[in-house]
Amino acid sequence: MRKKVIEAIEKNKIIVILRGIREDELIPLAEAMYNGGIRLLEVTFSADNPASDEKTAEGIKKLVSHFGDRMLIGAGTVLTERQAELTKLAGGKFIISPNQNTALIKKTRELGLVSIPGALTPTEIEAADRAGADFVKLFPASVLGSDYVKAVKAPLSHVKLLAVGGINEDNMRDYLRAGICGFGIGSSITDKALISGRRFDRITALAEKYVSALRRA
């Protein structure tokens, strides 16, 4: 299964980040993005409220149950091994973190999940890869830009990098040409005003815009 998840990330390239979404909004929001061509979703844990971990896991389980094989669901802002375990129990397929944590990477691999830790410097990127990461999330990508990606990829060409932070439909091509193999995209698609207004048709349109930009890149 891990191989299939890795291949799906490489093929579809866009992982949409769901952060702070209400339970009653979760399925219609995810369906709207599915209709727009999105096939990968990340449901984030709350770093400042560990008590909500079970609730986050329930959201992942709900999405997994609803979509089956139509979409791959994973967890984001995973900082602890317990959160990785909850994700596994909920049926999630990948673990995304903002940082490089060797113990968490190894635990993720033990659980049979795809590991995507965050890093910024060459030292952090190489350490994550050496620990067993399947992809490394370059975060925050926009702080240093696509030229930085190109420079980092020269000596670390074997590492699969995902760009997260400040990615939009206008700069995706630059990052792909620099060596990025995928993206994490959040508020640009999960517009809170549209969600609260239940304008899920607009969410679908935003998703389509990003998918189309990717195809043109």
Residues 135, 139, 145, 150, CA torsion sign: negative
Q: Which of 196, 173, 172, 201 is nearest to 184 (CA)?
A: 172
Question: Whole-angstrom Cα distance, residue 197 to residue 182?
Answer: 30
> Annotated catalytic, 42?
yes
CA 81-45-120 angle, to 5 degrees, is 75
- The pair of three-digit structure tokens given for residue 20, joined into one six-digit string: 């702070």
The one catalytic residue among 61, 88, 93, 137: 137
The one catalytic residue among 13, 25, 42, 88: 42
> Annotated catalytic, 137?
yes
What DSSP assignment string belongs to 64-110? HHHHTTSSEEEEES--SHHHHHHHHHHT--EEE-SS--HHHHHHHHH
Positions annotated as catalytic residues are 42, 137
